[in-house]
Amino acid sequence: MSQNDHDIKVINGLIAATIDSEEGYREAAKEAENPMFRDLFQDWSAERRQVAIGLQQVVASLGGDPEDDGTALASVHRVFVDLRASMSKGDKAVVAEVERGEDHIKAKFEEALSDEKLAPLCREAVQAAFVSVRQGHDEMRDLKRGMEQ
């Protein structure tokens, strides 16, 4: 067992959640009716890809095998599966599902940041990635709230 095993496991979990988020945004972009939403979701999908790549580099630097797939059977994926069912209900429903997925990924990152066993260098990498996650979450939250008015 490597001294980095815990850090690798935590960060690989975040990578999988981030890939799920990327795929969720990609699906939302395909189905969005409003071109503004389509562009926004495509941009966030690309941003999440960059976050995943950065975290994959951290895992590789620790001597681990970086996650390269989402969590097809895990709860993060199930959050975005509901996105497809919402597509026929219009952009408001799509935004609501994306925002719900954002709540989930934000919670995953907050959990990792509260992990006292996470090495300082890994915590820095997670914190840097969390800036993007929090920004995406807050933007989707605000978009959802704006559509509810």
What are residue 59's phi and psi, to 5 degrees? -60, -45
pLDDT at 99 over 80: yes
19, with CB counted inside 10 A (0-12, 13-18, 19+), is buried
User: Which CATH number applies to 5-148: 3.30.70.260, 3.40.140.10, 1.20.1260.10, 3.40.50.720?
Assistant: 1.20.1260.10
Predicted TM-score (pTM) of this structure: 0.88
Q: Give the model confidence (pLDDT) of 1-56 as tens digits.
A: 578 999 999 999 999 999 989 988 988 888 788 999 999 999 999 999 999 999 99
Residue 100, CA distances (Å) to 19, 93, 140 in order? 16, 11, 9
pLDDT at 113: 97
pLDDT at 101 over 80: yes
Average pLDDT (110-134) is 97
88 DSSP 8-state letter: G
Q: What percent of the chain has pLDDT over 90?
A: 62
In the chain, where are the structural domains located?
5-148
